[in-house]
Amino acid sequence: MKLASSLSRLGTETAFDVLARAVALEQAGRSIINLGIGQPDFPTPSNIVEAAVRALREGHHGYTPANGILPLREAVARDVARRRGVEIDPDHIVIVPGGKVTMFFAILMFGEPGVEIMYPDPGFPIYRSVIEYTGAAAVPIALHEERGFAFSADEVLSRITPRTRLIILNSPANPTGGVVPKAELDRLVAGLERFPEVALLSDEIYSRIVYDGTPHVSLLGYPAIRDRLILLDGWSKTYAMTGWRIGYGIWPPALVAHAVRLAINCHSCVHAATQWAAIEALEGPQDAVERMVAEFDRRRRVILRLLNGLPGFRCVMPGGAFYAFANISGTGLKAVELQDGLLEEEGVAAIAGTSFGRFGEGYLRFSYAASIEAIEEGMDRIRRYLERHARG
Ligand SMILES: Cc1ncc(COP(=O)(O)O)c(C=O)c1O
Ligand 1 centroid–CA 167 distance in Å is 17
Which ligand 1 atom is nearest residue 245's CA? 10
* Strand partners for 93: 250
Q: Is 234 in the pocket of ligand 1 (CB under 6 A)?
A: yes
pLDDT mean for each 10 residues of the chain (392 residues): 95 85 94 92 97 98 98 98 97 98 98 98 97 98 95 96 98 97 97 98 98 96 98 98 98 98 98 98 98 98 98 97 98 96 96 95 97 97 96 75
Ligand 1 centroid–CA 331 distance in Å is 30
Q: Which pLDDT does position 38 carry in this prediction?
A: 86
Contact 338, 382 (CB under 8 A): no
Which ligand 1 atom is nearest residue 15's CA? 14
Q: Is 174 in the pocket of ligand 1 (CB under 6 A)?
A: yes
Torsion of CA 95, 200, 142, 191, to 10 degrees: -150
Which string of DSSP letters, residue by residue, matches 83-124? HH-----GGGEEEESSHHHHHHHHHHHH--TT-EEEEEES--
Ligand 1 centroid–CA 247 distance in Å is 9
Ligand 1 centroid–CA 243 distance in Å is 12
Q: Please, which residues have CB within 8 angstroms of residue 196's CB and are 6 or more apart in sequence?
A: 228
Q: Is 238 in the pocket of ligand 1 (CB under 6 A)?
A: no
Q: Is 120 in the pocket of ligand 1 (CB under 6 A)?
A: no
Q: Please, which residues have CB within 8 angstroms of residue 346's CB and are 6 or more apart in sequence?
A: 381, 382, 384, 385
Beta strands in the chain (DSSP E): 33-34, 93-96, 116-121, 137-142, 164-170, 199-203, 229-234, 247-250, 314-315, 323-327, 348-349, 351-352, 363-367
Q: Is 45 in the pocket of ligand 1 (CB under 6 A)?
A: no
Smallest CA separation from ligand 1 atom 14, residue? 38
Contact 228, 199 (CB under 8 A): yes
Pocket perturbation via mutation, ligand 1, pick of 205, 241, 246, 351 by most ligand atoms within 8 A of CB: 205
Q: Is 236 in the pocket of ligand 1 (CB under 6 A)?
A: yes
Ligand 1 centroid–CA 363 distance in Å is 20
How far is the C-alpha of 176 from the C-alpha of 178, rounded, in Å? 5
Pocket perturbation via mutation, ligand 1, pick of 179, 201, 237, 271 by most ligand atoms within 8 A of CB: 237
Q: Please, which residues have CB within 8 angstroms of residue 183's CB and are 6 or more apart in sequence?
A: none
Which ligand 1 atom is nearest residue 234's CA? 10
Give backbone dihedrals phi and psi of 360, rounded to 5 degrees, phi first. -95, -5
Q: Please, which residues have CB within 8 angstroms of residue 67's CB and are 6 or more apart in sequence?
A: 73, 91, 93, 94, 95, 256, 259, 260, 263
Single-letter amino acid, residue 271: H
Pocket perturbation via mutation, ligand 1, pick of 18, 94, 100, 233 by most ligand atoms within 8 A of CB: 100
Q: What 3-state DSSP class applies to 200?
A: strand
Model pTM?
Answer: 0.97
Q: Is 242 in the pocket of ligand 1 (CB under 6 A)?
A: yes
Single-letter amino acid, residue 317: M
Instruction: Give the rounded distance of the alpha carbon of 99 from its chain centre.
Output: 8
Which ligand 1 atom is nearest residue 123's CA? 1
Beta strands in 125-246 (DSSP E): 137-142, 164-170, 199-203, 229-234
How far is the C-alpha of 99 from the C-alpha of 226, rounded, in Å? 20
Q: Is 203 in the pocket of ligand 1 (CB under 6 A)?
A: yes
Which ligand 1 atom is nearest residue 101's CA? 11
Q: Is 124 in the pocket of ligand 1 (CB under 6 A)?
A: yes
Ligand 1 centroid–CA 231 distance in Å is 13
Q: Which pLDDT does position 392 carry in this prediction?
A: 67
Q: Is 205 in the pocket of ligand 1 (CB under 6 A)?
A: yes
How far is the C-alpha of 376 from the C-alpha of 304, rounded, in Å? 11
How far is the C-alpha of 224 from the C-alpha of 2, rounded, in Å? 47
